[in-house]
Amino acid sequence: MIEHKATKPMAMLLQDPSFRDAGGDLLHEDWPFPLDTDYLLGTGSSKFVIRDADEADNPVFDSADWSDPGIMLTYGEFNRAPAERPLLENAQFHQVNAFAVAGHTLRAFEEALGRQIRWRHGGPLVIRPHAFEGANAYYDGMSPSLNFGYFRSPIRSATVWTCLSHDIVAHELGHAVFDSFRPLFLYSVELDAAALHESLGDLLALFSALEHPPVVERIFADSGGDMRRPTLVSGLAEEFGIGLRGSGTAYLRSALEGPSYEDAAKEPHARSTVWTAAVYDILVELVDAVLEADYPDPGGRRDFEAFKQAVVTATRRLRRMTLRALSYAPPTGVTMPVLARMVYEADQRLFPNDALSRDIAQRIFERRGLWDPQLVFTPPGIGLNFQHWDELGVGAQAALVANYADALRIPAGPGIRLLTPTLTTAIRDADATKSGVDTGAVTERYLHYAYEYVVQEEIWGENGPEPVGVSVFSGGTLVLDDCWNDVLLATDPPAFVEDLEAENPADSAFRRAVGRFRETHRSVLQSLQQPRTDSAGSAAGDRVLLDRPGCPFAVKAVGGGALRFVRRRCDIAEHLRAVGSSSGTLRLARNGGIANR
């Protein structure tokens, strides 16, 4: 990881403003913005730009020029005269906090990934800290931006600013990251893909919080070092709920809970807790394992310094494990059982001689119904054919993938449209003392390919059933080592043992995927009525045929082509409402209030 020397400290809160340390101060830290590898221009950098405006980009609050060396952005500077200008009501502090939390969270993701994220729209991501008045926040992928609301609490005489919630900023950033890292997940027909979109946001918030000693100290004080007891990191956006319902009321179910995979809800926000809870379970057991390994005497494990070091070590390992696995995932969609196997495989590649973390992960995945031994990721042995990839033109690269369609499990047939493939490289640090890796670094390459096909269905039109095509994207990732040997092939739809025993493995998986699509989404298709269109489509001719609350997808007609299932835009209120409701405790009414179940 790069050691940044020239920095500009930027204030950020480590948790919601409702949480304080033992002295009553806000949990805070100054994030060192890396001036030696990035720039500040106005209120922006190469990654983010703060635009303090409403959703229509009408200015709301003034901003300082952050590139001015005389402008200090530290917590101490903002808190210099709290009586005259309360920190939590300072709009410029809001701006800096949202920027710093996003920057800190993104850097941790990129460190685990082994490369930098490029936003799919190009240029820095827009952050609007005061986008609208309302109890909500959301990521807008169509005009890529993070938009944060604010509202007057009906319980307390104070304004709740969602841009001050570390959890909410990190969660919404997770959507932006995933949307750029795996843009075709937007069209995935897998229920798990949408759920993982939500879970990634929650996990980024969790990992980000646990990196900071003040947060770990508060956890230790609350739980006595027992991560199984509810603490401030096992819930999300507490300030949001407290502002709506009142102090002392837990807003969101604990991350220690969560159903098994077999019992998972179809609604993606509620379904996301399956993965989030599994990862939290892994974290708990990793902390215990680190304490046992480093402190054989049980008495030493109850010391705060021991607990802090164990949490930091376990979080770093787990963050790398879970986020690294995303590079192995197919570019078009993934199921939770496939991602569980990718977590194991990716960790084995980086730490071949240290099985502790992945063994714990496998045990928990098995317990939660997420481990499927029938999945097959055997590489086809074609990696060396791609070593001159960078010397080829775009057409020749696509032709190379097409030449190995059978090996890559790409089905043959009319209408299959192969999208432009990509090949990326990641270099990750490895703990040589733990893994036995000589160089202390591991180089991997990922060939990502995708294709589109059309499933023929029927919808109800003015004159009864009418045929219609539904566009579906599938694909795969071929993982190669530094010598261009392929070490793993993960496909969407996934391959099972029974597929490899079939005469044509690709067609076998394809037929099963089409059948599963029809079974899973028949109710959505039956709900379609062709005359129910949204005339306010985009300039490209998109028409929204179905966008029903609670349905994981909006169904769109793109120009004159086939229908597409498009993941609905997420907002934090919808996420908290769905997850809170699934816990059987409370729900967030659509008018922004809280209603008891």
Q: What is the DSSP letter of 53?
A: B
Residue 361: HSE in the Cβ half-sphere, 13 Å Cα cutoff: 27
At residue 574 the predicted structure's pLDDT band, cuts being 50, 70 and 90, is confident
For 309-368, write each residue's pLDDT tens digit. 899 899 989 998 999 999 999 999 999 999 999 999 999 988 888 899 999 999 999 999
Quick one: pLDDT at residue 525?
A: 62
Most confidently modeled of 224-238, 506-520, 528-542? 506-520
**Close Cβ partners of 470 (under 8 Å, ≥ 6 residues apart):** 454, 455, 456, 457, 517, 525, 562, 563, 564, 565
Instruction: Give the torsion through C-alpha atoms of 62, 65, 70, 71, to 10 deg.
Output: 50
Structure tokens at 583: 């816990």
pLDDT of residue 584: 47
Q: Token digits for 318?
A: 């787990």
DSSP 8-state class, residue 255: T
What's the token pair of residue 523? 């109710």
Residue-wise pLDDT for 364-417, tens only, equals 999 999 999 999 999 999 999 999 999 999 999 999 999 999 999 998 888 899
Q: List, in order of start, the domains of the chain with CATH numbers.
A: 1-181 (3.10.170.10)
Could you tell me which residue, 441 or 565, shows the higher pLDDT? 441
Q: Which two tokens stand for residue 323?
A: 């986020």
Q: Report the 10 Å Cβ neighbour count for 355.
A: 13
Residue 428, C-beta contacts closer than 8 angstroms, at least 6 positions apart: 114, 320, 324, 350, 441, 442, 444
In this model, does residue 541 exceed pLDDT 60? no
